[in-house]
């Protein structure tokens, strides 16, 4: 299928804004917030939103709780981890994504602001994700959620964190999430795939942006092929929660997302992988400018609702 014409227009806009090596993490963080403001829908649903604090490994972490206005507790929930290659992104850049997922699924959504590199390189974000999962389970009653119907998910590098949290929870004997929702997951930082070669330039994220961010997130001494960073290389996928994976046709990470789905299936995990033709990486954060992206995000939310209803 050809590249969606709305997505093509956004890629041209990003190219006109300049490429190459970013000036600084602060500059990229600011530009991502501006991108969200430009591409988010204007008619976002009205929800109950609450700012929370939870204990992390080295201090408090911020979390944003979204719930439908007519929500009856306790009910299903999703712990959501935003993308950004471990360097940028926040609960604020992903506010619209979380609002839409919450409204379309009818479940409570908890969006974590984990620590970012270079101030806090790997494994800080992974530690925060597991801490948030522990806290969510421990505080389920106060949060108005059913701990047995709580999923975990995220997009891009946030999806990687969600995968790792599942593996860490399994290793620690903690309750496992009822499901994983993985949007354009990054599953192999050492991969050289056809989709990475084909969409490394002229698409999002660019190869230059990815390389720059990974150098900050994974400083010297960090093995990027480690299963915590590259879960496709893990040999122990059996027993992980059911997964709903969504990839985009014109995404550098498409092939590894589909390969991870195949690896889960081979390990006996209930998995469904959907490729969204014509779309690009981060489409879920462009729902106000790409009609097909809004449809894809709604499908993901409704699928999650069905999965958690039967958990």
Active site residue 94: no
Six-digit token string for 45:
């649903």
Active site residue 251: yes
Which of 95, 251, 255, 303 is an active site residue? 251
List b or e across 131-157, with b for residues whose CB sees 16 or more CB atoms inside 10 angstroms: bbbbbbbeebeebbbbbebbbbbbbbb
Does residue 42 sit in helix, strand or coil?
coil
The strand pair at 75-81 and 145-155 is best described as: parallel
Active site residue 156: yes
Judge contact between 283 and 296, C-beta under 8 A: yes
Q: Which residues contact 71 (CB under 8 A, 6 or more apart)?
A: 48, 106, 108, 144
Which of 164, 281, 282, 303 is an active site residue? 281
Six-digit token string for 82:
């935003």
Six-digit token string for 46:
């009205």
Residue 258: CA atoms inside 13 Å, Cβ hemisphere, count? 15
CA pair distance 9, 192, nearest whole angstrom: 27
Which of 90, 105, 111, 156 is an active site residue? 156
CA pair distance 220, 202, nearest whole angstrom: 28
Q: Would you name the residues annotated as active-site residues?
A: 156, 251, 281
């Amino acid at each position: 299928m050809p590249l969606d014409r709305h997505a093509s227009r956004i890629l041209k806009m990003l190219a006109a804004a300049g490429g190459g090596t970013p000036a600084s993490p602060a500059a990229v963080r600011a530009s991502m917030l501006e991108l969200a403001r430009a591409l988010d829908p204007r008619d976002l649903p009205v929800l109950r939103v609450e700012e929370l604090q939870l204990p992390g490994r080295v201090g408090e972490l911020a979390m944003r709780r979204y719930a439908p206005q007519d929500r009856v507790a306790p009910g299903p929930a999703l712990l959501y981890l935003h993308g950004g290659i471990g360097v940028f992104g926040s609960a604020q850049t992903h506010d619209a994504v979380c609002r839409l997922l919450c409204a379309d699924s009818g479940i409570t959504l908890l969006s974590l602001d984990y620590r970012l590199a270079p101030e806090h390189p790997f494994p800080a974000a992974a530690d925060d994700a597991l801490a948030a999962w522990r806290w969510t389970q421990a505080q389920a009653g106060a949060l108005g959620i059913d701990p047995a119907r709580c999923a975990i998910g995220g997009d891009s590098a946030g999806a990687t964190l969600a995968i790792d949290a599942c593996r860490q929870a399994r290793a620690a004997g903690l309750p496992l999430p009822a499901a994983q929702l993985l949007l354009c997951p990054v599953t192999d930082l050492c991969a050289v795939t056809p989709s990475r070669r084909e969409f490394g330039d002229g698409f999002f994220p660019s190869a230059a942006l990815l390389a720059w961010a990974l150098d900050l997130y994974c400083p010297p001494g960090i093995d990027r092929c480690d299963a915590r960073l590259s879960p496709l290389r893990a040999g122990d996928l059996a027993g992980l929660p059911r997964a709903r994976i969504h990839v985009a046709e014109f995404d550098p990470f498409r092939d590894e997302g589909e390969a991870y789905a195949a690896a889960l299936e081979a390990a006996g995990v209930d998995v469904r992988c959907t490729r969204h033709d014509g779309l690009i990486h981060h489409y879920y954060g462009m729902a106000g400018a790409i009609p097909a992206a809004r449809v894809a995000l709604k499908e993901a939310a409704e699928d999650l609702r069905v999965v958690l209803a039967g958990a």
